[in-house]
Amino acid sequence: PKTDIVFLKVHKSASSTVMNILFRFGEMHNLTFAFPIGGGNQLFYPHHFLARFVQGFSPRSPRKFNIICHHMRFLLPEVQKVVSHSAIYFSILRNPVHLMESSFVYYKGASAFSHARSLEEFLNQPYLYYNPANRDSHYARNLMTFDFGFNPNGEVSAKRVQLMLEAIEASFDLVLISEYFDESMVLLKEMLCWDLDSIVSFPLNSRDRSTKSPLPDSIMEKIKNWNRLDWEIYTHFNRTFWERIDRDIGRERMQQEVKALRERRAELARTCLQGMGSVAPKDIKDSSLRPLQHGNAKILGYNLKMGLDKETEHMCRRLVTPELQYSSALYKKQFP
């Protein structure tokens, strides 16, 4: 199994669920994480990542960490200072239409969104609300482009898009697609030489359907145009994702692998969860399992079954522990 890993955690793209997978694997194998100085969950985002943001890093005796997965704005030469040169790099993308709809709800407090009554109102006159000079403007336009380290307000020329795509392909071994989460996990498992239980997960940091509304086509087109750079990145890597499946696994075997993954997830849900699925924040009985609530989103969580034996309870708890609580526990373990 590969143990040196760089995960670029792209906002609102099922990345908290992927992070839980990395946390569990790292904890199980006593791996070290590149934590932000003083803990927390962001490597001084939205600044470009610097090695000195990592707790325990010193340029005089550069220490290598096994896993880096906290929020950062990607900058390859700096990341290379904190992980081994053989590390596997991967990230995950989401359709920019859904990403923008999600961001508008989740980051409602951001300067660009706070005065717009609806996403439609924002998109009809974006420059009425959006000021690229504001420190939090990146949440409102080409958020994936920004997380990968590029300028979200850059011109959309064929040449510039090409250079961006080439830079991502040169840095990353694998780019996953959150709309095909299970297929993505199978690809990840293959690349990291992990077993099925290492990549099984329950969805984390997902929001209640009551805050989601379907978007008319006219709005979708406006979102694509406003986030044109993100759209170019997404469509490119959505294509190469399926090319990779055809090349490395094949559709038939992929179907079998996805089936096995879903069966194992359902089995774990029966073992671990009350009522088999996620619940609204107000219904989470154990406050230590309550995820951070943000913006206008209602972030769902889980209730564990009562009376589990100690080992099973430990495994189940890890699967449903929200990102901030899990990160904090691992930080205390690594820096007692």
Question: How confident is the chain (336 residues) per 10-residue block, as mean pLDDT?
Answer: 97 95 98 96 96 95 94 98 98 97 94 96 97 97 98 96 98 98 98 98 86 87 98 98 98 98 97 92 94 86 97 98 96 96
Please report the pLDDT score of residue 255 as a whole number. 98
Place of tokens 């906290």: 70
Please report the pLDDT score of residue 62 as a whole number. 84
Residue 317, number of CB atoms within 10 A of its CB: 17
Query: What is the sign, positive or negative, of the torsion defined by CA atoms of 178, 204, 43, 97?
Result: positive
pTM exceeding the 0.75 threshold for the entire prediction: yes
Distance CA 199, CA 194 (A): 8
- Total residue length of the chain: 336
Structure-block tokens of residue 42: 């962001």
Please report the pLDDT score of residue 59 as a whole number. 92
Q: What are the CA-CA distances from residue 266 to residues 202, 256, 261, 275 (Å)? A: 9, 15, 9, 12
Provide the domain limits for residue 144.
5-334
State the CATH number of the domain containing residue 38: 3.40.50
Structurally, how many domains does the chain consist of? 1
Please report the pLDDT score of residue 171 as a whole number. 98
Please report the pLDDT score of residue 61 as a whole number. 83
Spatial neighbors of 80 by CB under 8 A, at least 6 apart, are: none
Please report the pLDDT score of residue 170 as a whole number. 98
Number of H helices, E strands in the chain: 14, 4
Q: Give which of 210, 191, 178, 277 is closest to 1, Cα–Cα.
A: 191
User: Exposed e or buried b for every residue in 122-161, given b needs 16+ CB within 10 A?
Assistant: bbeebeebbeeeeeebbbbbbbbbbbbbbebeeeeeeeeb
In contact, 193 and 255? CB cutoff 8 Å: no
The region that residue 193 occupies, defined by phi over 0 for left and psi between -120 and 50 for alpha, beta otherwise, is: left
Q: What are the CA-CA distances from residue 272 to residues 203, 291, 308, 319 (Å)? A: 14, 18, 8, 9
Please report the pLDDT score of residue 250 as a whole number. 98
Distance CA 298, CA 192 (A): 33
Please report the pLDDT score of residue 29 as a whole number. 98
Please report the pLDDT score of residue 296 as a whole number. 80
Structure-block tokens of residue 61: 């005796």
Supply φ then ψ for residue 304, to 5 degrees.
Answer: -85, 150
E strand intervals along the chain: 5-8, 67-68, 88-93, 174-177
Structure-block tokens of residue 250: 């094949």
Q: Give which of 151, 160, 169, 167 is closest to 48, Cα–Cα.
A: 151
Distance CA 20, CA 116 (A): 34
Distance CA 318, CA 330 (A): 11
